[in-house]
Amino acid sequence: MTESTPSDTNNIEPKECIEARKIREAYPDAILEVKEFRGDTRITIKKEYVPEVIRMMRDDPDLDFNFFSECLGVDYLDPQRGGYILGKKHRFEVVYNLYSLPDKRTGRGRNRRIFIKAAIPEEDCSVASVTDIYPGANFPEREIYDMFGITFTGHPDLRRILMSDDWIGHPQRKDYPLGGERVQFTDGKFGPSVGEGVVQHPGESFFGKTASVIEKS
Amino acid sequence: MALNSDQLNPPSLKAEGIQIDPIEDAKMVINMGPHHPSTHGVLRIVLELDGEVILKATPHMGFVHTGIEKEGEYQTYLKAVTLTDRMDYVSASLNNMAYTLAVEKLFGVEPPPRGQYLRVIMCELQRIASHMVWLGTHALDIGAMTMFFFTFRDREKILDLTEMMSGVRMMPSWIVPGGLRGDAPENYVERVKRVIDELPRRFDEYEILIDQNPIWRERTQGIGVITPEECYSLGVSGPTLRGSGVPHDLRKAVPYSSYDHFKFEIPVGEYGDVYDRYRVRMAEMRQSREIIKQALENLPDGPINVDDRKIVPPPRKELDHSMEAVIHHFKIWTEGMHPPVGEAYVPIEGPKGELGFYLVSNGSSYPWRMHERPPSFMNLQALSKMCEGRLIADVVAIIGSIDIILGEIDR
């Protein structure tokens, strides 16, 4: 599980960054993967530990990630071949982008950025909301819900944010078809993911009429 | 506050047999927008009011959602640059820059100094232009009409410079992975110098117009206050954060594209109100001018693009005598570039705040996921907090001071 990267000279600890060590100390079985790429650290954790780990990132004085930069969703489904790309065992990831903002007034902050990734399987598309830890997660979580259909339990106002309220399907999922929009805003009768509304779209991006909510029609 | 039954129905009325029923709930809900001129696009704000005092402001967006992030997944890395222009359309070069830096981080390359300096010049000119749009529209919202004409007159000169460089006024797409599409044309440096020499006088003009204006001060001072701690947890960045007194600028904290070569200051506010944010942006325009001046003085010679034929197509003259160059040319325009598997995020200091693209590469020539961290989107979350307890007229000033661009929020 522990990765030793000899090129990692930024940290005093030669083996792992302080964030990963702290998580391991507090929650021994939370971490799935720690990855370093071009100086950025990405820690994949089990989704059950999201609120605890994010809270620790903010509250631990050694970590001090005071600034909530954003969070985003990623879908790893390979729509043409089936299965997930890059050897992932889960379909979705929610990436929390936290920043330790160096505040010259108070002397706090380490000028470091961390990416905490929550692994989310397709069967159980939900994760605990972090809006009570960082209120700034409100809009981004709504966007992820809108675009990927991942529900955030405990979110105060989980509605669609960019698409219209009667939209069918979650557009940023990889199996969501491109093109073929005939009529919008008709009480969910038409839309790209409703069978009869689909028009063939010339181009490699069209993967057929598939959507997880097709039964609704 | 609602009057109760006894207050509404004095004995005199009762004697006449008239009965007035009290209003059950004193709260009133009104819609502001989506076509309100002060919403800078199409933003709808649902205001819950008690009289004229705002209890809660809920923004509703998505009216100009164009699916740029989804579209980006089906364009090659080079083609996706043109999509980024359309996000924040008043500061297109900075979007190109953020996207390009993320792609370059995937590759692990950096353009030569001349390319970096030209990028800085383009970005800082664009930042001034963006702030001019903000100042013009913000002042227009509050009622200072002349300002709009002044700033748009001067912004036109900066757009002329962008046109001189790229041939396009607003959507240059000139900053691309690997460097720039082309070098600066002849006389570009002189033209930029002429424009920026004139700028301080213009800035003075703006300040004379509104800075000491009592109406402007009444409308902006002490309005829409936000504390640094609220900014942190809400993810509010850029001039809005600096207006609250935090001297944080990503150009200094995490220097990119040789920003560490230039001397400039980070202007900060004190109270975090609308007026402070206005002062911060005014000072930022002057600082941007300083950066451009230094970049022009020290503009190095040499190539502008990275020397990697897998990222940058070969120059035209090489195609005449080198078969290899033809192959590279063909490959890059048909297939595109193939960054290694990985993820990259490079934050830059946009005119609105922290701007960055999160790219997930699976090794193909299409980004698996292209996501922008939209500063306006995150900053808009502070709107409700700023509006609470203020009057409707202040909402207009507060929206203006956050400097939102709906193209970026809805993407």
How many CA atoms lie within 13 Å of B391's alpha carbon, on the beta-carbon side? 5
Contacts of A72 in chain B (CB under 8 A): 358, 369, 371, 373
Contact A139 B381 (CB under 8 A): yes
Q: Please tell me the distance from the alpha carbon of residue B297 to that of residue B316, in angstroms, as a whole number.
A: 30
**Residue A1 CB-density burial (10 A; 0-12 exposed, 13-18 middle, 19+ buried):** exposed
SS3 content of chain A, % helix, strand, coil (to 5): 20, 25, 55
Of A66, A97, A171, the CB nearest to B67: A171
- Give B130→chain A minimum CA distance, Å: 22
Yes or no, beta carbons of A101 and B347 under 8 Å apart: no
Q: Which two tokens stand for residue B123?
A: 């970005």
Q: Is the pLDDT of residue B139 over 50?
A: yes
Closest-CA distance of chain B to residue A27, Å: 24
Distance from CA of A216 to the nearest CA of B (A): 23
What is the pLDDT at residue B145? 86
Q: Report the residue from B341, B368, B381 with minimal CB separation from A136.
A: B381
- The CA distance from A159 to the nearest CA of chain B, in Å, is 11
Region of poorest pLDDT, from A66-80, B17-31, B295-309: B17-31
Give the distance from residue B18's alpha carbon to the nearest chain A alpha carbon, in angstroms.
44
pLDDT attached to residue B38: 63
Q: Counting Cβ atoms within 10 Å, is residue B106 exposed (0-12), middle (13-18) or buried (19+)? A: buried
Q: Do B65 and A204 touch (CB under 8 A)?
A: no
Evaluate whether B196 touches B293 at the Cβ level (below 8 Å): yes
Dihedral over Cα of B316, B320, B321, B326: its sign: positive
pLDDT at A101: 87
Query: Mind telling me how many Å the CA of A16 is from chain B's nearest CA?
Result: 19
Q: Tell me: pLDDT of A150 over 50.
A: yes
In angstroms, the CA B182 to CA B178 distance is 11
The residue among A108, A162, A170, A185 with the most chain B CBs within 10 A of its CB, best to mutate, is: A162
Contact B344 A161 (CB under 8 A): no
Query: Which chain B residues are within 8 Å of A163, Cβ to Cβ?
Result: 62, 65
State phi, psi for B259 to the nearest 5 degrees. Answer: -70, -20
- Nearest chain B Cα to A134, which residue? B233
The answer, for B103 touching chain A at a CB cutoff of 8 Å, is no
Query: What ipTM was predicted for this assembly?
Result: 0.85
pLDDT at A177: 72
Residue A127 and residue A104: Cα distance in Å, rounded?
A: 35
Q: What is the pLDDT of residue A16?
A: 78
- The token duo for B208 is 């004379």
Q: What are A27-68's pLDDT values in tens digits?
A: 888 888 888 888 888 999 998 899 999 998 888 888 888 889
* Chain B partners within 8 Å of A85 (Cβ): 362, 368
CA distance B43 to B40: 7
Contacts of residue B235 in chain A, CB cutoff 8 Å?
A: 67-70, 134, 136
CA dist B59 and B138 (Å) reads 18
Q: What pLDDT was estimated at residue A12?
A: 46
Instruction: Average the pLDDT over B100-128 and give the result.
Output: 92
Q: Between A and B, how many CB-CB pairs are < 8 A?
A: 109
Q: Distance between CA atoms of B95 and B108, rounded to whole angstroms?
A: 19
